[in-house]
């Protein structure tokens, strides 16, 4: 059954049930369905070509979803992006139209789409009146359009991934089972863009099951996170760490699962998150590139520090640790992660044969992480393949190193890299993301640990109020931008107790 028909079915059988809460505005299933149908009526009059791409540049979540469902029901492939300037750099092909909200049709960055029709979508930023249109019992269609998602994790450059519409029902059933989603679920999908896997997949599954999705796009959204009776919350480690610092979030009684994925998470941050929410904390390792019905391939439930980077392989997925030649590594030997592709998974990136050949090989996908298989079969993820610190010819993995360093300074994110100083000697640069100075004891402990670990005597510490982050939904540290910032502004950051080269 097409996803849109499922939403329309709920609109007839449970019209008053809450489908979405957006910035405290409540949308029932009937209101959600009417707003989608308003968009369908508008786009049906545009004679858009089936199979071509409709680029949706709308930042209001409910508005964007209504446009996306309407366009897909007419057989168009959709890509949703909130940044109009970024969309102009995606080098898209076969674009039938660009859809924007009122006021954005004259944006200067739309010049990248010269000659392409710019359509202004009907305003569905507020629930429509009951009389606005009739909700059909089903949507007659000849083809359901695909979806293009974006990924920037593996290659460092934004990649386009086309997801087929053929397995929507099977995928939603599988996701519902994996995360315990049903009609009682309240999902808060914190700041994940709809163009990324997490921002697209989970709300889609919740509406398939008749549950409720909470969106908050206000600047102080994290302060309101626990205002709602949510049962499932999905966030990246950087967002979780920011949430730990918000003063006004209030836990509500009930069963809550916090799902954190997309990067390394400190033990300090994990314990703080549980203390603040009373939630069960689950760690997830997946990839936008894995588009089958099991994209989250490694999971664990947090109990001890080891659980933060040690995962169980999801049943039905094959994950191997291989050497440079693609051979399976023995247990407890470090190698690259390789994930066997399922039938519904893609086999490469759109318009990028070089990236496809590099990361999709031998019937599997290389996600760009180093790991090792433990004797009990679990996988320990050690860090990104490109995140290796070379000190005097000795290589250290940055992931475990920075995680331990973060624990020493109270869970504040830490980034480490080396450079040659003016005398040609190795010097370690250590950036700590913090608005407040760390304690002298913490800084001394970190300095002593790093000197013992790396056998270095030249270490410079610098406080940074906010690390540069990547544009993707995971908000990972942009190391290249951070290193450039550090080298340009040494000594001008947040004061640290004892900030100096030692």
Describe the crossing of helices 440-454 and 398-408 by its angle, rounded to 10 degrees.
150
* Pair type for strands 280-286 and 459-464: unpaired
**Among 148, 171, 153, which Cα is nearest to 71's?**
148
pLDDT at position 502 is 38
Task: Return the number of other C-beta atoms located less than 10 Å from residue 5's C-beta.
Answer: 17
Terminal C-alpha separation, the chain = 64
**Among 197, 236, 192, which Cα is nearest to 216's?**
192
CATH classification code of 1-11+27-145: 3.40.50.980
Separation CA 428–CA 431 (nearest Å): 10
Separation CA 132–CA 245 (nearest Å): 43
> Bridge partners of 24?
none
Separation CA 131–CA 70 (nearest Å): 19
Give the residues of the chain that fall short of pLDDT 50: 1, 492-494, 497-502
Separation CA 136–CA 500 (nearest Å): 68
Residue 254 is encoded by which pair of tokens?
A: 């009930």
Q: What is the residue-wise DSSP string for 160-184? A: EEEE-STTHHHHHHHHHHHHT--TT
Separation CA 401–CA 309 (nearest Å): 13
> Superfamily assignment of 163-384 in CATH?
ANL, N-terminal domain (3.40.50.12780)
Three-state DSSP state, 414? strand
* Pair type for strands 296-301 and 310-313: antiparallel
Q: Could you tell me how many helices (H) and strands (E) the chain has, helices first?
A: 12, 26
Q: What is the DSSP letter of 492?
A: -
pLDDT at position 295 is 80
User: What's the fold here for domain 388-488?
Assistant: GMP Synthetase; Chain A, domain 3 (3.30.300)
Three-state DSSP state, 195? coil
Q: At 21, which helix (H) or strand (E)? A: strand 18-22
Separation CA 399–CA 415 (nearest Å): 9
1-11+27-145 against 163-384: fold identical: yes
pTM above 0.85, yes or no: no
SS (H, E, C) 264-289: CCCHHHHHHHHHHHCCEEEEEEECCC
Q: At 372, which helix (H) or strand (E)? A: strand 369-373
pLDDT at position 496 is 52
Residue ranges per structural domain of the chain: 1-11+27-145, 163-384, 388-488
Q: What is the residue-wise DSSP string for 454-475? A: H--S-EEEEEESS--B-SSTT-
């Amino acid at each position: 059954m097409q996803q849109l028909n499922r939403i329309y079915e709920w609109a007839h059988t449970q019209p008053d049930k809450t489908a979405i809460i957006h910035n405290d505005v409540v949308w029932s299933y009937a209101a959600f369905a009417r707003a989608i149908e308003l968009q369908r009526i508008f786009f049906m009059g545009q004679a858009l070509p089936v199979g071509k791409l409709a680029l949706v540049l709308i930042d209001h979540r409910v508005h964007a979803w209504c446009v996306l469902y309407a366009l897909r029901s007419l057989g168009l492939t959709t890509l949703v992006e909130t940044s109009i300037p970024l969309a102009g750099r995606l080098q898209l092909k076969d674009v039938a139209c660009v859809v924007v909200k009122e006021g954005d049709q004259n944006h200067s960055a739309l010049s990248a789409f010269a000659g392409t029709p710019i359509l202004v979508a009907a305003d569905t930023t507020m629930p429509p009146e009951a009389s606005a249109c009739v909700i059909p019992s089903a949507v007659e269609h000849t083809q359901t359009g695909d979806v293009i998602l974006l990924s920037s994790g593996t290659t460092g450059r934004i990649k386009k991934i086309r997801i087929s519409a053929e397995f929507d029902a099977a995928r939603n059933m599988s996701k519902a089972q994996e995360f315990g989603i049903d009609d009682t679920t309240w999902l808060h999908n914190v700041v994940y863009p709809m163009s990324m896997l997490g921002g697209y997949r989970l709300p889609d599954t919740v509406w398939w099951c008749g549950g409720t999705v909470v969106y908050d796009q206000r600047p102080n959204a994290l302060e309101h996170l626990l205002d709602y009776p949510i049962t499932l919350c999905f966030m990246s480690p950087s967002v979780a760490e920011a949430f730990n610092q918000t003063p006004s979030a209030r836990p509500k009684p009930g069963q809550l699962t916090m799902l954190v994925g997309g990067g390394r998470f400190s033990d300090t941050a994990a314990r703080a998150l549980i203390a603040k929410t009373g939630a069960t904390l689950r760690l997830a390792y997946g990839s936008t590139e894995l588009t089958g019905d099991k994209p989250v391939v490694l999971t664990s439930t947090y109990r001890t520090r080891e659980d933060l980077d040690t995962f169980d392989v999801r049943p039905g997925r094959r994950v191997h640790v291989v050497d440079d030649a693609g051979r399976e590594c023995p247990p407890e030997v470090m190698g690259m992660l390789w994930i066997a592709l399922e039938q519904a998974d893609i086999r490469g990136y759109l318009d990028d044969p070089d990236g496809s050949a590099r990361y999709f090989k031998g019937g599997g996908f290389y996600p760009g992480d180093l790991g090792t298989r433990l004797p009990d079969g679990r996988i320990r993820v050690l860090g990104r393949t490109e995140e290796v610190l070379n000190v005097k010819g000795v290589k250290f993995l940055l992931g475990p190193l920075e995680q331990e360093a973060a624990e020493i300074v109270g869970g504040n994110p830490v980034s480490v890299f080396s450079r040659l100083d003016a005398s040609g000697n190795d010097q370690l640069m250590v950036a700590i993301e913090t608005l407040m100075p760390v304690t002298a004891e913490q800084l001394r402990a970190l300095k002593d640990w790093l000197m013992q670990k790396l056998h270095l005597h030249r270490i410079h510490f610098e406080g940074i109020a906010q690390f540069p982050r990547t544009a993707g939904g995971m908000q990972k540290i942009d190391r290249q931008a951070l290193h450039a910032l550090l080298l340009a502004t040494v000594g001008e950051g947040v004061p640290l107790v004892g900030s100096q080269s030692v």
